[in-house]
Structure 1
Amino acid sequence: MSLTATTVEDVCRSAKRAARRLATLDRRVRDGALARIASSLEERVDQILDANREDMQRAEEKGLEPALLDRLLLTEERVAAMAEGVRQVAALPDPVGELIDGRRLPNGLDLRRVRVPLGVVAVVYEARPNVTIDCTALCLKSGNAVVLRGSSSAQRSNAALAAIAAEAAEAAGIPAGAIGLIASGERGDDLRALATAKDSVDLIIPRGGEGLKRALEEVATVPVIYAAAGNCHVYVDAEADLERARAIVVNAKTQRPGVCNACETLLVNSHVAPAFVPLIVRELLARGVELRTCARTRALAGDLADRLRPADERDWQTEYLAPILAVRVVDTLDEAVEHIDRYGSGHSEAIVTESTDAARAFCDAVDAACVYVNASTRFTDGFEFGLGAEIGNSTQKLHARGPIGLRELTTYKYVIEGAGHVRE
């Protein structure tokens, strides 16, 4: 693995060399490498957890927020889930070489469009060491080399995971350099070098907040798919089943608040607000959620109103990644859609309703990668979607949208066969 390289350029060049060989490897070699990675994670779990404990200790000393500490934490169960995710990726159909379409042209040439790897995929991510393995598995399965740039807070965890994965992959026949890790240093310098390595890197996928997105937008010459912020909403419609709505809102906000598919704003139709607002406010407060609310919400909260903080413009715009929820009462579905259109990030949006017409109108009007009817936004995830894992969730439209899985890590080429054809 490219851990000993001294510069970002060295890591990227090693990955480029490996990518040429990796693209031609038989599927069985790539799947065998994934199987060995999964087994190695399980066999060396103690080494992984030791490294993670060091990261956790330093993060706690620095006062990292609880939600970020949760994202950084590894346990035996989470390592086991990583290994299972790798096996699921290995079991998926191989996208490389897939025939997308083909036909015989009127001149007799046979034309085929075939799926091929992108080449070198770089991933920049924050304090989630599981991303190291998810990205490695998806890239190897799709025939790509991967360059990993994690945050300094997860430096030891990422190094342990990447070293274990690279050792196992190379033992299974994957070329050295196919898994490259950029050691943490001055983030700005590293990011700039990676974002401008257009001769070696074919695509960058950042997993982080708006600050990371802006930093890349300023310097990137390599193509970027932004797996950016998730300012997600749940709208409780006038015809919602309120018990169903309660369960969905609680899950979307509290099941794991520090992730991009957690709900950040609750919109409640005024028709059901008198019954629903006191119910949901009481439960969320009991679960330790801070509520930032409009005046209409506070007026309906009864004796709990003094525990609610007034919301301002920034609250509607914010991806909290914490047990904080903005709440607003709206009069119509159209008003809810307008709010989402103004403040949403295009990630995941949900409606709770028993009305087929309302569900259809919401799905048609909301512009987001994932739109849910009567389900929590927490399902926006490659694992949940049957992709085995994901590199991120794209909030843009070209060339991938939603969870970025195997097919989103490929492009295609035209293969044309003739019999001595020449153009006149």
Structure 2
Amino acid sequence: MAFLISCISDPVLMGLLGAAVLLAVLYFSTGSKNAAFKLPPGPTPLPIIGNLHLVDIRRQDKSLMKLAEEYGPVFTLHFGFQKVVVLTGYEVVREALVNYTEEFVDRPSIPIFDQIQNGNGVFFSIGDLWRTTRRFTVSSMRNLGMGKQMMEGKVFEELHFLIEKIKSFKGEPFSLRSFSIAPINITFLMLFGDRFDYKDPTFLTLLRLIDEVMVLLGSPYLNEKNKKDSLFHDDNLIASILDLVMAGTETTATTLQWAILLMMKYPEIQKKVQEEIGRTVKAGSWATYEDRKNMPFTNAVIHEVQRFITLLPHVPRCTAVDTHFRGYFLPKGIIVIPSLTSVLLDKTQWETPHQFNPNHFLDAEGNFVKREAFLPFSTGRRNCIGESLAKMELFVFFVGLLQTFTFQPQPGVSEADLDLTVPETTFTLRPRPQATCAILHE
């Protein structure tokens, strides 16, 4: 009693006591298993760093999958003082992105995008700005030829330039990064109306700047966004073009590099693709995107490349409204990470998830089969707007290259020496810098 009277007479002690009581109330009201407003479970955070010590910065996606084994497919992490809800596995991710489209439609603030774009563009904008910009962008891309035969003709033209570039190496080793120039030029052609010569100084400068930005985009996020009242203005236009350049060049270009690296790694698969091309495509002709229907093994290989490499592990979302999901309460604005890696490597969906296995997309008779868990372009309202163009480019470039060349490791390097690990954290998972030799296919 004397202690209580002493506390009441001391304002400092009263403040501390009040804070302790408040913390206790918050703890028990949010931490109780029967509470209606509880976050998903997760590891206990350490002071200041939260759970950062549990995440491998080089492969955050694999770290999240490992944590899901202990805490379940929906769990909470603390990145410093920031709470993040992680969604893993095909069933959970698809449910969130397809059945809760409005709840999980927003993006959180990411510093590098905030500094460059001030909340504009099509990729990280939110609300009416995002909806209007996306509709306008999709409409404009269709008007510019996306998904039309005219654009396929431009891809064939670019394939010719790429093949001539590769022939110039005369069988000597060259960097896998060299394959990026063709997909990048297709994006520039659509946005700027013309392609660049591969030696053009402006083109080379753009390649360097794109590379630098993609590395920067691998850094952590969270800041405040600046917004403008008008939806159509120069800043939004520039930001949208930058989004298309980054997304449209990096994804297809990097996937093509992985495809060639995997053909070097598995020469028996490369040979089988070339045999199917020889049976299907007339001599002196290129395979069209429509030909994929008659090339089940090649189509399966391309799909398996995209599944196996998990190119874009996750792009963060945030809740647009207070949301109840799978028995948990996710307050408006909380960051949500739907892990695409966990979908593409989900052991309940794929027979050999961690192996490069084109049979994932083939039935017993060798026919191509679609798989619901194949979501490299994400799903729902924020799915990739350039998906149709990316698929066409990847097929035409990949088949044209293997129709012309056989790709081998450089002298002194065996298939076993080829490295499939990821060297650095960027916005996408790029293959480690390596060289290839292109031998003209007879």
TM range (shorter): under 0.3
Tell me which of the two structures has the higher relative contact order, counting C-alpha pairs closer than 8 angstroms and 6 or more residues apart: 2
Larger Rg over CA atoms: 2
- 1 or 2, which has the higher strand percentage? 1
- 1 or 2, which has the higher helix percentage? 2
TM-score, structure 2 as length reference = 0.24
